[in-house]
Structure 1
């Protein structure tokens, strides 16, 4: 065997081995196209499909910086019921709120399936104070069925047109409700947890009609709880001492409320609202907060949230491009004041509150609002002259929404 034959044989062997190994090489599969997030325009702007599903998700919210100023609540004798840490008869503070809304929707054979969650946190401007997030709202909807924690049906889409909207019974509750809607008409009923621990819930019903001209509604509520241990009210006796009173216990309470909203009646880009309510007995659905910044003691709680027998109110809002103005006012009467022995200590409690504000869109998604209000409460104390409390308050806020 010569050198030439040896080289040719070695080359042939190498080619054979290489061919055998080439058959075992793994050829990578070409990657599939990336499933980019797609816009979902079925439910309006801001929704995107969750990749790989038919569920549309929207995430939005805002950051708000707010400065509030509360004047001292003063009675006829000049007594001040609000002072700051330096002894002045007013309080000024700032707060920051961060809110996030999560809204998931998809279509099913039973209608739109929706889950909504809202979390938010606020701090009171105290150095070093942390603001932990908490659930402010969370509910499930399927067609006309709603279940979860949200505004009571009693205050759904009501209130006058200022930020302080003077709504009656403005609170959130665990509830199960159903709404039927067709051609602008809607009828709803809500079973609401009153947190008493018994099996009897509160019940709210509502009828409404909406069109291009505006809308009208009427609502009724049944508060099943006995009211003898709640709804505190306060006044002052002839010696200037605080009197705390409650309405004698009632086994259940009924209330009615209605409202009318008219668009562009007076001018283009305007809205006029009129609302009123009446309670046959003291009810948690007929309360209103009228004083601000008084603190958390019993007297502050009593005069800050009043049990209302009846109230009427109106509001008007007008837009001028980026500028908007609104004015609202309410006048009402409270239930009589009783002490713990069910003895009448004050009656003819009446109040009114007026609110005005100016808002401006500084730029897209960045707005400011300034608002001022005046409140007065009068009551006839038994064995004493008429006593009254009043307060002026206001705020300015800046909101960056997204």
Structure 2
């Protein structure tokens, strides 16, 4: 029995020693790659693990509740049916936005990508997806979809909630190069998708795209504000008649006013011939809108137009802000050989003008959350088809994060 106990005790001791030695062996632990904050480009950026690329992911939820009015009570269809009998008198709309901004420093300069996608639900739950921005920037180069380099104020002061104000506010596919001179001065040359800027040819048919729009801009951004001179070429070709080269020119200035809280005032104007979208990407008329008309003998006549738009924004308190934008646009189609309005009269003198006001009053009880009231008013006057106006008032709740 003593021998048996001795053997068992020895074995137990050996196991204890073995367990102790095993416990003392080093343990291989997988390294943990913690997310690092990237503060070189502002708040919200972090390094993608295992890379030197900084990424910021953001989002926004917006809920709008519209009521539509026809102040003239004339059923004048100037906003896609919103102001005539049989159309909807209100609209509930929800949008979800996703933003992704990546930036990487390279030996050749900054490499950046930016993506903006939003999903829209409105009018009984109809769903739509919009790729608003998707571009790459490398040094001074820009490739992809973004705001046209012709645009300056675009919708800076208004909501553009229902219609675009009387100015150029267009997202397009482009390839551009921006040269920075220093001290805030820069020059940009951009090739942009001509199809994005097309309206139509009255009495004719646009040829398939042949030449992209050529856009040039001179810009300055400094502490006092910003200013820009811009020009664009737009090729107009009718399949059955003629072809001409249209153009647009414009200028604008935006000033930081030294009173109030973040107060800014801006104004811009432009002239176009055969490129109406550059004068007003929200142009509305009971006929057209067109870039050109086909006259006697198949001659192509380019449409002349001009616009002026201005606005301001300010914050009355840290939580209450106001933005207002006012615009005017006039387009002259000239005389043509078609009975556009079906009244039996040919050689109609066709022209129209848009006047619009866009305002939004916002209240932000906490950072990133806005409750607001807005309104848009548009009045359209034509030489041969009467005039009319429409009004949209809305309430908005918006959360950005």
Calculate the TM-score normalised by the size of structure 2.
Answer: 0.78
Correspondence for 1:368 among 364, 367, 371: 371
Equivalent residue number for residue 109 of structure 2: 111
Report the counterpart of residue 100 of structure 2 in structure 1: 102
- Aligned equivalents of 1:317, 1:10: Cα separation in 2: 90
Q: 1:249 to 1:199 in 2, by over 3 A?
A: closer
- For 1:347 and 1:85, the matched residues in 2 are separated by 22
1:286 aligns with 2:264: no
Deviation at 1:45, TM superposition (A): 0.5
Deviation at 1:160, TM superposition (A): 4.9
Partner of 1:142: 138
Cα RMSD after superposing both structures: 3.6
2:316 paired residue number: 320
Report if aligned partners of 2:260, 2:315 keep a CA contact under 8 Å in 1.
no
What residue is the counterpart of 1:253 in the other structure? 246
Alignment CA distance shift 1:157-1:145 (3 Å): farther
**1:115 CA drift (Å):** 1.4
Shift in Å at residue 283 of structure 1? 4.0
Aligned pairs (5 A) from 1:252-401? 252-265=245-258, 267-289=260-282, 302=288, 309-321=305-317, 322-336=319-333, 338=336, 344-381=347-384, 387-401=386-400
- More deviation in 330-339 or 319-328? 330-339
Native 8 Å contact 2:64 2:94 kept in 1? yes
**In structure 2, the residue corresponding to 1:179 is in which secondary structure?**
strand
Is the 1:96–1:125 Cα contact (8 Å) retained in structure 2? Answer: no
CA 1:398–1:79 in structure 2 vs 1: closer, same or farther (change >3 Å)?
closer
Q: Which residue is equivalent to 1:235?
A: none
Give the length in aligned residue pairs: 367
Determine the C-alpha separation between the residues in 2 that align with 1:94 and 1:22.
71
Residue number among 201, 219, 232 corresponding to 2:212 in the alignment: 201
Question: Which stretch has the larger CA shift, 21-30 or 115-124?
Answer: 21-30
Specify the alignment match of 1:245 in structure 2.
none
Change (3 A) 1:273 1:21: closer
Whether contact under 8 Å (2:167, 2:308) holds in the other structure is no
Pick closer, same or farther for the CA change 1:357–1:9 going to 2, 3 Å: closer
Task: Give a deviation string over 1:208-231, Cα, whole Å, max 9, x none.
Answer: 1121111110111011242789xx
Kept in 2: contact 1:95–1:123 (CA 8 A): yes
Whether the 8 Å CA contact 1:105–1:114 is kept in 2: the answer is yes
Secondary structure of 1:155's partner? coil
* CA–CA distance in structure 2, aligned partners of residues 356 and 8 of structure 1: 97
Change (3 A) 1:120 1:114: same
TM-fit CA distance, 1:57: 0.8
Instruction: Spell out, residue by residue over 1:62-96, the C-alpha distance to the aligned partner (whole angstroms, 9 max, x if none).
Output: 00000122223859xx3443777995676211100
Change beyond 3 A, Cα 1:156–1:53: farther
Q: Deviations over 1:112-141 (max 9, x none)?
A: 111111121001141xx3635443221111
Quote how far apart the aligned CAs of 1:254 are.
0.9
Q: Secondary structure at the match of 2:158?
A: coil
Q: Give the SS at the match of 2:169.
A: coil
Contact kept, 8 Å, 1:120 with 1:133, in 2: the verdict is yes
